[in-house]
Chain A
Amino acid sequence: MTDLAILPTTRDEDWRYADSDFLASADLRAINHWRTIEVPVGETRAELRAHFAGEAELGITDRLRVLVRKGGRFEGYYALGGSAYQRIELEVTLEDGAHFEFGGVTLGGGNKAQEFVTRVIHSQPNGTSNQIVRAVQWGKSTGNFLGRIEVVRGAQKTDAAQNFRALLLERGASANTKPELEIFADDVKCAHGAAIGALDETAAFYMAARGLPPEAAKRLLVQAFIGDAFAALKDDAARESILDRALEQLGDAV
């Protein structure tokens, strides 16, 4: 990935699901801007970001480049529920024994396109990474997770996992995922899983039979579904707050 000031198009593999209207009118400088974080040796950094407001704007991109030094830990938790196009992109390089924990949730209806694009580079041995993305879509919206894991030569004992699940509340909504594993070491564990499904009708009826109205049952099921992505978040108050705010996005869902 380069920082050349060029405007991406949907012909670029990493931007294939992006909103073309957004790309056509996007600010070149903004779209090529990368935030950077360096986590010092043995330390932990975490960030939690929720993009819920800004319905009116055409889109946002948030690109972050992280270097986690030896034995350090970076945690990133993100929820997307706002404008027409939303993209969070992370490029994380892990040194010896470093860990990357990633939780991402998309919730959207209408014609929204919401996506997480990650590139995790295990550049030294003993690094671990765990990525969990949950997409809840309705209307004609799309939720995407493009996750690339690179294990360089010599990065033995790498343990990398990514998991994507999508819940499509209505016919017409969609989800895309593309795990990419590029492994040049022979003693590593890399796991990836993906599943796309609809709301569990059996569970919904069971809950209704106990007196829960459909909206309440749906809210509870969605809360349980997206909860996985924030399960590693130790701060209970922060976790509950982001879950509550995320669930508010369900307001206009059927």
Chain B
Amino acid sequence: MLKIDNLTAEIDGKTILNGLSLSINAGEVHAIMGPNGAGKSTLAYVLGGRPGYEVTGGSVSFMGKDLLDLEPHERAALGLFLGFQYPVEIPGVSNVQFLRESLNSQRKARGEDPLSGGDFLKLAREKAGLLKMDMEMLKRQVNVGFSGGEKKRAEMVQMGILDPTFAVLDETDSGLDIDALRIVGDGINAIMRKADKAVLLITHYQRLLDYVKPDFVHVLAAGRIVKTGGAELAHQLESEGYEAVAA
């Protein structure tokens, strides 16, 4: 589904990703862990196509296409979802309007008919329920006045509505209390744990991985993957630290 080969990328002339390779198949959940500054968020932004993150070498193919050749909105329409570490507030735009226009833009790009207002609300209500989020929250402005935990849950509602093939979730667990963590974990499983979908979880901590069991855990350090293992690697990292394990 996703194949990253020897990827290098820089921000403001500073190399952040330094020969990163990673393959992810349908049906798999991968976790990337690593110390601050290792390049985890940069990887997420490069996959999403954020301006300012310059790819200087290597390749990324997604669903058989050259991902790096596509605009950010085209990547979304192809089935990529980027869960933000810091979801952005958009004053004056309601979640409902934002998500309906986003979904219908994606559908249009894929040659599908737009969803009617009624059908969209039905879908939104169902996905909000999955994340135990009040429908009233979705009528409010995008992320405005939401707590840190509400923003992360709202991200997962967005993911449920947009129904991507592949999700990169950048520290979706940060800012969540224990109950919210379980709700978000269950939400990720319900939405993405399917044979034709895949997930890349970027996280600092083991705790999300208790709910969303990874098939592979990778350690990212200095812009490349230095170690790969199964779910047990996350436990080892948690008890021994990055330095001991990645050395």
B90 is an interface residue with CB less than 8 A from chain A: yes
Q: Are A201 and B51 in contact (CB under 8 A)?
A: yes
From residue A254, how far is it (CB to closest CB) to chain B in Å? 15
Residues of chain B from 52 to 92 with CB closer than 8 A to chain A in the complex: 71-73, 75-77, 81-82, 84, 87-92
Of A38-46, A94-102, A183-191, A209-217, the segment with at least 4 beta carbons within 8 Å of chain B is: A209-217
From residue A151, how far is it (CB to closest CB) to chain B in Å? 31
Closest to A204 in B: B51
B106 is an interface residue with CB less than 8 A from chain A: yes
The size of the chain B interface, using a CB distance under 8 A, is 31
From residue A232, how far is it (CB to closest CB) to chain B in Å? 15
From residue A47, how far is it (CB to closest CB) to chain B in Å? 24
Q: Are B102 and A212 in contact (CB under 8 A)?
A: yes
Chain A residues closer than 8 Å to B88, beta-carbon distance: 202-203, 206
Chain B residues closer than 8 Å to A221, beta-carbon distance: 90, 93
Q: Are A208 and B72 in contact (CB under 8 A)?
A: yes
Expressed in whole angstroms, the Cα–Cα distance for A207 and B143 within the complex equals 13
Expressed in whole angstroms, the Cα–Cα distance for A228 and B103 within the complex equals 26
Residues of chain A from 193 to 250 with CB closer than 8 A to chain B in the complex: 201-203, 205-214, 216-217, 220-221, 223-225, 227-228
Q: Are A209 and B72 in contact (CB under 8 A)?
A: yes
Expressed in whole angstroms, the Cα–Cα distance for A203 and B97 within the complex equals 15
Of listed A208, A210, A220, A221, residue having the most chain B CB within 10 A: A210
Expressed in whole angstroms, the Cα–Cα distance for A209 and B142 within the complex equals 14
Expressed in whole angstroms, the Cα–Cα distance for A133 and B187 within the complex equals 43
Q: Are A203 and B90 in contact (CB under 8 A)?
A: yes
Chain B residues closer than 8 Å to A209, beta-carbon distance: 48-49, 72-73, 75-76, 81-82, 84
Selected contact of A223 from candidates B84, B92, B106, CB within 8 Å: B92
Expressed in whole angstroms, the Cα–Cα distance for A211 and B101 within the complex equals 9
Expressed in whole angstroms, the Cα–Cα distance for A35 and B89 within the complex equals 42
Q: Are B50 and A210 in contact (CB under 8 A)?
A: no
Chain A residues closer than 8 Å to B51, beta-carbon distance: 201, 205
Given contacts A212-B73, A220-B98, contact A207 B109 (CB under 8 A): no
Q: Are B93 and A211 in contact (CB under 8 A)?
A: no
Residues of chain B from 101 to 121 with CB closer than 8 A to chain A in the complex: 101-103, 105-106, 109
Selected contact of B92 from candidates A201, A213, A224, CB within 8 Å: A224
Of listed B72, B76, B87, B93, residue having the most chain A CB within 10 A: B72
Chain A residues closer than 8 Å to B109, beta-carbon distance: 211
B158 is an interface residue with CB less than 8 A from chain A: yes
A-B contact pairs, 16 of them (CB 8 A): A205-B51, A206-B84, A206-B87, A207-B102, A208-B49, A208-B73, A209-B49, A209-B84, A211-B73, A211-B102, A211-B103, A211-B106, A212-B105, A220-B101, A223-B92, A225-B92
Sample of 9 more A-B contacts, CB < 8 Å, known A207-B98, A210-B98, A220-B90? A205-B50, A209-B72, A209-B76, A210-B102, A220-B101, A221-B90, A224-B93, A225-B92, A227-B92
